[in-house]
Amino acid sequence: MHEFLEKSLFQEVTEHSSFDLKISKWKASLGIPHYTIKTYHVPTAMVTEVNFETGGEIVGITPNHTELFVSLFHTRPLEDDDIVHELLHVKYPDLGEDEINIKMDEILGSKINKQFKSTKKST
Ligand SMILES: [Zn+2]
């Protein structure tokens, strides 16, 4: 758990809906469409590194598996790999970071291959 999530500084955190479409797509393809995911943009100035300097990057979640509700906090704009990574944590809450990364690579690797193949066909 990162420092900032435990602090009550949430007034600076703004809800962000521009990633909803991407997230819905990935929720469906990962088989967890029943979860509600809300995204919040966090200013990097709020993220404290271990050395107490601010300005760190973070993408992280606080999942509630009983209510099927997940808050997703991010400093950078969310890319597919960020979303897939965090949604895999939702789907497999017991897996560690390395296992999640392996699954993420499998999913995005096959996605990229498909896109590459279809691009080749059409040219
Ligand atoms: Zn992770």
Q: What CATH number has the domain bearing residue 108? A: 3.30.2010
Look at residue 85 and tell me whether its pLDDT is greater than 90.
yes
On the 0-12 / 13-18 / 19+ scale of CB atoms within 10 A, 43 is: middle
Number of domains observed in the structure of the chain = 1
**Rounded distance from Cα 86 to ligand 1 centre (Å):** 6
**Rounded distance from Cα 96 to ligand 1 centre (Å):** 8
- Per-residue pLDDT at 14: 72
Look at residue 10 and tell me whether its pLDDT is greater than 70.
no
**Rounded distance from Cα 115 to ligand 1 centre (Å):** 25
Q: Which residues have C-beta under 5 Å from ligand 1, the single-atom ion?
A: 97
**Rounded distance from Cα 85 to ligand 1 centre (Å):** 6
Give yes or no for a contact between 19 and 83, defined as CB atoms under 8 angstroms apart: yes
- pTM given for the model: 0.76
Domain that holds residue 68: 7-122
**Which residues is 14 bridged to in the sheet?**
41
What are the tens digits of pLDDT across the range 15-30? 777 889 999 999 999 9
Decide if 73 is inside a domain.
Answer: yes
Decide if 115 is inside a domain.
Answer: yes
Give yes or no for a contact between 44 and 13, defined as CB atoms under 8 angstroms apart: no
Pairing label, strands 36-41, 69-74: parallel
Q: How far apart are CA 10 and CA 51, in angstroms?
A: 22
Look at residue 12 and tell me whether its pLDDT is greater than 70.
no
Model confidence at 42, in pLDDT bands (50, 70, 90)? Answer: confident
Decide if 44 is inside a domain.
Answer: yes
Say whether 47 sits in a helix, a strand or coil: coil
- Per-residue pLDDT at 86: 96
